[in-house]
Amino acid sequence: MRADGIFGQAVDRIGGEPISARMARRAPIRHLDPTLLFATLVLTAFGAAMIYSTTASKQVEAGLDPGLFLKRQIAFLIGGGIILFIVSFLDYRHFRAFAPVIYGSAILALILVLTPAGAVVSGARRWINLGAFQFQPSELAKIAVLMALAAYLAERKGEVRARDIAISLGMVAVPSLLIFLEPDLGTAMVLTAVMSVLLLVGGAKIRHFVAIAFVAIIAIVGAIQLDLIHDYQIQRLTAFMDPNPDVQSEGYNLVQAKIAIASGGARGKGFQAPNTQTTLDFVPEQHTDFIFTAVGEQLGLMGSATLLGLFAFLIWRALRIATMSRDMFGTLLAAGIAGLWIFQIFINMGMTMGIMPITGIPLPFISYGGSSLITNYICVGILLNVHMRRFL
Amino acid sequence: MVTPGHSEPTFDRTKLRLGFFGIIILAAFIALFSRLWFLQVLASDQFEKLASENRIRDVSTDVERGRILDRNGVVLVDNRASQTFTLDRSLLDHPIREKRVLKKLSVLLDIPVRVFLDRLDNVAASLYKPVAVAFDVPKQAVKLVSEYPEDYPGVNVENRFIRTYPQGNLAAQILGYTGEITSDQLKTERFKRGYEAGDVVGRDGLELMYDGLIRGKPKLERVVVNSTASVVGKKVIQQPEPGKDLILSLDARIQKLTEKALATGIYAARQSYNAPDGAAVVLDPNTGGVIATASFPTFDPEILADGYSFKDQKLLGGVPEDDNQDDGNFNRVIQSTVNPGSTFKVATAGAAMATGVMGPYDYRDCPGALQLSDIVFNNWTSADMGTMGIPKSLEVSCDTFYYELGWEMENNWGAANGDGSEKFQDYLRTAGFGHPTGIDLPNEYAGNVPDEDWCIALARADSGCFDGWLPGMSVNMSIGQGDLLATPLQMAVSYAAVLNGGNVLKPHIGGGLGVPDADTGEEETVKEFETQTAAKLPLDDTEMGVIRQGLEDVITGPEGTGASAFIGFPLDQYPVAGKTGTAQYSATSDLNRAWFVSYAPANDPQYVVAVYIDQAGHGGESAAPVARQIYEGIFGIDKAVEAGSGSDVSD
């Protein structure tokens, strides 16, 4: 059985009744993509194991529970699972109506985080304390921008005009600027990437991209001229081109990360093997942004390639769902999610391997962090949602 | 663009756009995988090395170095523990902090900061091992640093071993000294394996030559450190093994009296001459073991015990107007290459017999002057002494006799008059001249046996021999003049060969290795070094016998040039034989090098004594009395010599 086309009206040549009509009579849950769900769980488990391996020895050294980070990640997984269920249960087409509300509340949260209500961690206001859990509004903003832009561009039905580009840019610029002020350059870049994918799939012309590139250059030059971008941010972004191994410098992370990954070799040194870069804690921020180094060192090329394969599978499913979606909104949502992931995967892994600049972008499903995991689970929920309702 | 069968025109275009997006995604994955492949497959080994450099440090802990003992167990070099301040560079990596700590230490110990910086900047010092910056620190300072470690980050108190010299400056030039290995040393063959920066090693003399044997094996630990440099794992990869004691052929008692006799002789010679420096060596002719070796001036080795530079050394006995070799570290026994004068006639006599220009009982004339070709060579006296054999020629030290032999050898085999096979020079090299004797000391000089090749090289360097090899060169060489240069040790070795049946021995100071008995503390020899013969003289017993006869007559004969120096010496009990030498600086100069090479007892030689004093008149006048004093000491003839050994020689 296969569904043909995005807004497909394919006809079953034997029955004479449109397949879609027959499929539509079934409950959406019967059209679930179980492989996507399965891949998500495998990736999360993979990540949890890596989080444990990067935090256990440090926790033991500090006399704390070695499984603390693992347990917390599992708690996030459970929370994420519940939210995934809710998100996939409601028909995604209702999201179009909610999109402005979600977008608006995301903007409000982003403003709130810049007020004293926002918690400051290592110089950046990125979190809002919600009791035991710190919530990162910029993660919510990814979903909000995705939905709002998808909803807007779906209305254009593939005919994108200059005015639509301007509106899209505006819709991304407001949250991006707020996130940029936290400061969190990485997430602002993610939003821009999502927008680019949505415009690409949504029907923007080449000249539109040229115009966007032009605006982007002016914005970057302007930001540097107005000293909105700090020197340390520029140093971070350019450090990968000539990493300085000095402990105090940004390049230290890069050098240690590369050593960890490359020394893993083809087979890896083994999970929790003693005397590794991982267990001796040579890679800073290893359980969050630099978690891929633990994969590379402990599991080698085999483990790293497996992870890449899992990601490729996930993104293939997302793209497949984009092509199968019944409407443009679903297509754009799925494509946007694929863009969200591939951008983060490429920047994060590329950063640890020294071919991309250092930005605080987590590796989806693998890096430690509740907001990031839950956001990714929402994305999976949306994908499942679109997939389940491709006949309705 | 409407495609039949599809209700919406955007369908195909959206699919196309998704396809384009898919290609971008594919490219991203390919890029990531390629980079992974490069890092984990192609460059993995190189990064694994970096990873181990990150975490692995080898730390060595020095063990106690073997002592140096004389042949009777007298300790010449010992160790003592010293409270030492060390600086851990990894804790000082911040320049401001480093400055502050060094300033504090400087005030505490009253040592300028510059001294600490010099030690820290020493590239040879290990990066991981703490660097010793101050030895023998006062108790008070130790207490302060131990009680307030936060005020002195990186400063540690360690017990380090320091060399001590219970016999003072006895045998200073040969013992050498120890210090942290230099970066130049690390590159040498001797220190290539098993040594690392920061190791304390022998830097000169016996300490250097026998370093591998007496150093022992340091404890080597491989430690694993984490990112904060705390040690998380440790493995001993080499168990410590204390160094073995080096037992010398040297006799401390004879060494002491030899040094004293040389100094006394030089101070005595300074009554009439410059006598800036000199050397004396006592050799066992049967084993090649050096029993005593003295070079004057000398220095105090204690100054170098912790490895400081020679600049601060205290010179003992040097004279200010001396040449640039007044360095007390200059060991004249092996480094002074000068004309040996008439003492060399033994070698020429041997060469004449070995090459066959004369038999052991053949005679030659001893005129007051000898004209060879168009040059007149004068004897030391203008009187014609008639015809004589080898013994007499040695006794009266007839120069013309030997000019004649040199001339004959030149005419047969010389490069100018003969066939160029240079048999004279070949014999001299066999007898130990023109190359280092191979003694177990560093930087031994080769001396020179002039031949045609040497002449050509000299001319090529534009520094002499412009007319090529001349027959007169062989003639001059025959009495130890001209360009024939030898060290006192080479002279002793060449004499020993005539005494022991023709064995040109490789002299040595190290005799074996020992360890103190755990219970009694008495030294037990665990290894004896074997006597090595470098070459064999092509002479038979008769030929060597006539030479020995001549050397005995020098002392006992009526016209013996060394007789006057031994008046009153109990020659009947302790027969001495030897040869004086008075080498002229040049034909016009009245400066002479005084030589005396001798042995005793003449009937059963146990000691070869070679004495050389620069600018000190006749050999019989300045050098022979030194040898006499040495023999008196060895045989216990004049008790005053030994009893007076404690007093200051410069009185």
B46: which chain A residues are within 8 Å (Cβ-Cβ)? 262
Residue B323 confidence class, pLDDT cut points 50, 70, 90: very low
Confidence of residue B93 (pLDDT cuts 50, 70, 90): low
- Per CB-CB distance under 8 Å, the chain B contacts of A325 are none
B512, pLDDT greater than 80: yes
- Show Cβ contacts of residue A290 under 8 Å, excluding neighbours closer than 6 positions: A253, A257, A283, A284, A352
How many helices (H) and strands (E) would you count in chain B?
21, 25
List B residues 29-88 in contact with A (Cβ-Cβ < 8 A).
29, 31-33, 35-37, 39-41, 43-44, 46-48, 50-51, 54-55
pLDDT digits (tens, 9 = 90+) for A175-222: 999 998 888 888 999 999 999 999 999 989 999 999 889 988 998 888
Model confidence pLDDT, tens digit, residues B538-589: 999 999 999 999 999 999 998 899 999 999 899 999 999 999 999 988 777 7
Interface of A with B in 152-211 (CB under 8 A): 157-159, 197, 200-201, 203
Q: What is the pLDDT of residue B125?
A: 57
Residues 6+ apart with CB under 8 A from A108: none
Contact B31 A339 (CB under 8 A): no
Of B14, B37, B39, the CB nearest to A258: B39
CA atoms within 13 Å, Cβ hemisphere of B308: 15
B540 or B108, which is more confident: B540
Residue B123 pLDDT: 55
pLDDT of residue B92: 60
Do B116 and B50 contact (CB within 8 A), yes or no? no
Kindly report, residue by residue over B148-171, the tens digit of the pLDDT.
777 777 788 877 888 888 988 888
pLDDT for residue A284 is more than 90: no
Q: What confidence tier does B91 reach under pLDDT thresholds 50, 70, 90?
A: low
Of A197, A304, A355, the CB nearest to B21: A197
> Does residue B190 register a pLDDT over 80?
yes
pLDDT at B374: 85
- Provide the pLDDT for residue B302: 61
pTM: 0.63
Tokens of A245: 């191994």
Nearest Cα to A322, choosing from A338, A337, A335? A335
Provide the 8-state DSSP code for B450. -
User: Between these two residues, B49 and B489, which has the higher pLDDT value?
Assistant: B489
- B333: three-class secondary structure by DSSP: helix
Which residues in chain A have Cβ-Cβ distances shorter than 8 Å to B235?
A: none
A324 → chain B, closest CA residue: B15
Please tell me which residue of chain A has the smallest CA distance to B231: A280
Q: Is the pLDDT of residue A336 over 90?
A: yes
Closest Cβ opposite residue A300 in set B14, B32, B40: B40
> For chain B, what is the mean pLDDT?
85
Contacts of A330 (CB under 8 A, 6+ apart): A92, A321, A322, A386, A389, A390
Residue B306 has pLDDT above 60, yes or no: no
* B 207-266: CB under 8 A from A: 224-228, 232-233
pLDDT at B398 over 60: yes
pLDDT tier for residue B644 given thresholds of 50, 70 and 90: very low
- Whether residues A319 and B6 touch (CB distance < 8 A) is answered with no
**Cα Dmax for chain A:** 72
Higher-scoring residue by pLDDT: A373, A278? A373
**Residues forming a β-bridge with B532:** B506
In single-letter form, the type of residue at position B134 comes to A
Please state, as a whole number, how many other Cβ atoms lie within 10 Å of the Cβ of residue B179.
22
C-beta separation of A145 from A339 below 8 A:
no
- Which of the four pLDDT bands, split at 50, 70 and 90, describes residue B127? low
Q: With an 8 Å Cβ cutoff, are B40 and A266 in contact? A: yes
Buried b (16+ CB within 10 A) or exposed e, A284-293: ebbbbbbbbb
A324 reaches B (C-beta below 8 A): no
Average pLDDT over chain A, rounded to an integer:
88
Residue B322 has a pLDDT of 43
Phi/psi at A4 (5° precision): -110, 110
**Helix H or strand E segment including B60:** strand B56-61
CB of A285 less than 8 A from some CB of B: no
Interface A:B, Cβ pairs < 8 A = 138
Collect all residues with Cβ–Cβ distance below 8 Å to B357 and sequence separation of at least 6.
B405, B408, B409, B412
Looking at the complex, report in whole angstroms how far the Cα of residue A23 sits from the nearest Cα belonging to chain B.
Answer: 20
User: Stretch B30-48: mean pLDDT, rounded?
Assistant: 93
Crossing angle (nearest 10°) for helices A251-263 and A328-352: 90
B219-225: strand order across its sheet: B56-61, B219-225, B231-238
Kindly provide the b/e burial profile for residues A207-236, where b requires at least 16 CB atoms within 10 angstroms of the residue's own CB.
ebeebbeeeeeebeeeeeeeeebeeebeeb
pLDDT of residue A29: 83
Residues of B with CB below 8 A from A336's CB?
none
* Nearest-angstrom CA–CA distance, B514 and B492: 28
Q: Which two tokens stand for residue B416?
A: 């100018």
Among residues A278, A256, A277, A275, the alpha carbon closest in space to that of A352 is found at A256
Given a contact cutoff of 8 angstroms between Cβ atoms, the answer to whether A373 and A78 are in contact is no
ipTM, two decimals: 0.93
Tell me what pLDDT residue B642 has: 40
pLDDT at A13 over 60: no
pLDDT above 80: residue B285 = yes
Please report which confidence band the pLDDT of residue B129 belongs to, taking 50, 70 and 90 as the band edges. Answer: low
> A355 CB near a chain B CB, below 8 Å?
yes
**Of the spans B52-56, B172-176, B453-457, B637-641, which averages the highest pLDDT?**
B453-457
* C-alpha distance from residue B113 to each of A125, A229, B99, B102, B143 (Å): 47, 44, 9, 6, 21
Decide the pairing of beta strands B523-528 and B510-516. Answer: antiparallel
The candidate with the shortest Cα–Cα distance to B493, out of B546, B442, B436, is: B436
Kindly tell me if the per-residue pLDDT of B98 is higher than 80. no
Write down the pLDDT at residue B404: 95
Residues in chain B: 651
Closest alpha carbon to A301 in B40, B48, B29: B40
Which residue carries 């199968």 as its tokens?
A: A324
DSSP B21-56: HHHHHHHHHHHHHHHHHIIIIISHHHHHHHHHHHHE
Q: Cβ–Cβ of B36/A308 closer than 8 Å?
A: yes
CA distances from B406 to A152, B366, B385, B489 (A): 117, 14, 19, 24
Give me the pLDDT at residue B257, please. Answer: 95
- Write down the pLDDT at residue B318: 46
**DSSP letter assigned to residue A275:** S
Backbone φ, ψ for residue B581 (5° rounding): -145, 135
Q: Residue range A163-173: average pLDDT?
A: 93
B373 touches chain A (CB under 8 A): no
